[in-house]
Amino acid sequence: MKNLAFLRFSALIIASSSFLLSDAVVAQEVVQGWNQDERNTMYYGSQGSRLIPKAWFDALELKDGTPFIDIDHLTSFGLLPPSDKAPTKYPIGIAIDQQSDRSLSFSKLPWSGQGDLGDTAERWVGLNCSACHTGSYLVGDKLAIVDGAPSMFDYQSFVNALDDAMEGTLNDPVRWSRFATKVLSGKNTPDNEALKKAFISLLDWEKKADAMNENDRYYDGRVLKYGYGRVDAIGHIFNKVVMFNRGSEADGNPANAPVSYPFLWNMWKQDKVQWNGSVANSRKKIGAGWIEYGALGRNTGEVLGVFGDIVITPKSDGILSALSGYQSSVNVRNLDRIEHILKKLESPNWPDTFPFEKNLATIGETLFRQNCANCHLTPDMQEPGKPTERMLPFINTPKWELTDIWMACNAFVYSGPTGPMKGTKDLDGNVMGDTAPVFNMLGTAVKGALLDKKGDIIKEAVSTIFGFERLPEVSRAPGIFDPRAGERETCLTTKGVDILAYKARPLDGIWATAPYLHNGSVASLYELLLPAEQRVKQFWVGNRAFNTKDVGYVDAEPADGQGFLFETRNEDGVVIEGNGNQGHEYGAAKFSPDDRRALVEYLKSL
């Protein structure tokens, strides 16, 4: 049995050494409760994300003349290639949005005489949730897709590459000429001045977002790289809210707390979602169906951060102010339908072709119940209608058990100018002044977007979208040696704030969600069961070959060079903020190697 497992593991490593992702046959081998139509809806349905006009996306070239949409190029960012059953040639998670831009902001770009309604409206390329929440692993030369699992998408590098391609096109007359010829073909004007003006406008918008997100004030001129499988979604969303409120580059906050993409199965059973539990799951029965308004709020915030468009209207007096919302590109109907499809998503079973030692798993179950089940509920401990997660507030957690705090801490301390929101009431009824916590402004923007789309039903329901109390203004004076010392102390000592916590959820399907901890800083389940000081300080991310023994992806540099070396410490051995792999030991030192192997086998079975 052990020799067979070793041969399988070796074959996977060999397969990965010469693997080209775009050449893979996408094999839908993992049964999780979705049919093909539901998969296609999840993979390619628009949520209202508007990254770039489709005609521009298709015409952009790299410096060497390679089309930006070349499938080898797009999959180099960790996006998954389409299957032969896909309705498009784009990778999974790249969706087409077509809607009126008459009342939008940065994406209202009349560059070719196009209309703004129905089939005449410009089609835009954007991302949907599947770009970040569709996992995979190699089975020979095939990709097995795990729906709802964290993807390997390198969001940061993808956005930077697109911005570079746009800037390179603008600054190269020959390249610009080819681009303009393609996108204006068949249009009703031969003049490309309107095109260039619109192109510059969108590029400036994206460069402003880049400047806000990659603020280097804490990293001595070095931008924190996310790598494959991580993004600081909260940071990006916050900065977009500041941008929609007409803030300047200096008003942004660094998006320097990347986290792994959470897995999606059974999330609807949780009372709170996001790694820090900052969003409440809430629903309202309407007739024979349900409005998932908690999910609508969560996903509306996601869309606004990932290239959605919204026009925030200054406060006006009177009854119209109470009933009006903010016009946006958010596709509320699709968001609601997506949540209903997600309820059908089942956690993936450990593959039959992978080795599994049942006797060890039985021992591991006993160890798990004795040591882990207080936080991570086993299936038999989950009661219908009750939360399946446990929230672990920072202030109640021993410091040596804390992992990287910055995703939750940033959500608490970041603030910005309110702009047109000044004078508007936040979700707790408090009137916002010149500045406010960005989380409060995000809640207000989400409320406005949903009011515009759903009227009085959402107006009555939206007050419980966010399960947090109003955040206070926080002084963030830097320390001499640790520029974030003030913020760190505030986040570790403040009482009564729900979002200063991390969530422990059930571990069903955990085998398919590597790397581990909320920020993806631990390569395998076996490593996670070691004392923190014994965990590796760096490992490669980007392989799809699977380590079936330790449970995680193979830690080896991909032969094609499309890997990312994840480092938890700098050259001086100091923890890199955002990448720390400390904490979450909870007595791991007492486990023997055999105990750890037994626990890993049990976790395979969940």
Cα–Cα distances in Å, from 63 out to 68, 170, 182, 188, 260?
A: 10, 12, 17, 29, 31
Q: pLDDT above 70 covers what percent of the chain?
A: 83
Q: How confident is the model at residue 7 (pLDDT cuts 50, 70, 90)?
A: very low
Q: Is the pLDDT of residue 26 over 90?
A: no
318: left (phi over 0), alpha (psi -120 to 50) or beta: left
What angle do the packed helices 293-305 and 233-244 form, to 10 degrees? 80
Q: How confident is the model at residue 81 (pLDDT cuts 50, 70, 90)?
A: very high
The 3-state secondary structure of 384-430, one letter per residue: CCCCCCEEEEHHHCCHHHCCCCHHHHHHHHCEEECHHHCCCECCCCC
The pLDDT tens digits of the residues spanning 128-154 come to: 999 999 999 988 778 899 999 999 999
Q: Are strands 230-231 and 142-147 parallel, antiparallel or unpaired?
A: unpaired
**Cα(141)–Cα(342) distance, rounded to whole angstroms?**
29
Q: How confident is the model at residue 578 (pLDDT cuts 50, 70, 90)?
A: very high
**Cα(513)–Cα(494) distance, rounded to whole angstroms?**
31
Q: Is the pLDDT of residue 104 over 70?
A: yes
Q: How confident is the model at residue 97 (pLDDT cuts 50, 70, 90)?
A: very high
The residue type found at 554 is V
Least confident stretch, 134-138, 479-483, 597-601: 479-483
Q: How confident is the model at residue 594 (pLDDT cuts 50, 70, 90)?
A: very high
Q: In terms of pLDDT, which residue wins out, 458 or 553?
A: 553
Q: Max alpha carbon distance in the chain (Å)?
A: 76
The residue type found at 63 is K
Q: How confident is the model at residue 187 (pLDDT cuts 50, 70, 90)?
A: low
Q: pLDDT above 90 covers what percent of the chain?
A: 51
Task: State the sign of the Cα–Cα–Cα–Cα dihedral 559, 561, 562, 568.
Answer: positive
Q: In terms of pLDDT, which residue wins out, 443 or 203?
A: 203
Q: In terms of pLDDT, which residue wins out, 413 or 466?
A: 413
Q: Is the pLDDT of residue 42 over 50?
A: yes
Q: Are strands 25-27 and 142-147 parallel, antiparallel or unpaired?
A: parallel
Q: Residue 25: what pLDDT?
A: 63
The pLDDT tens digits of the residues spanning 206-263 come to: 999 998 987 544 344 557 899 999 999 989 999 999 999 999 998 999 899 999 999 9
Contacts of 302 (CB under 8 A, 6+ apart): 47, 129, 233, 237
Q: Is the pLDDT of residue 466 over 80?
A: no
Q: Is the pLDDT of residue 58 over 90?
A: yes
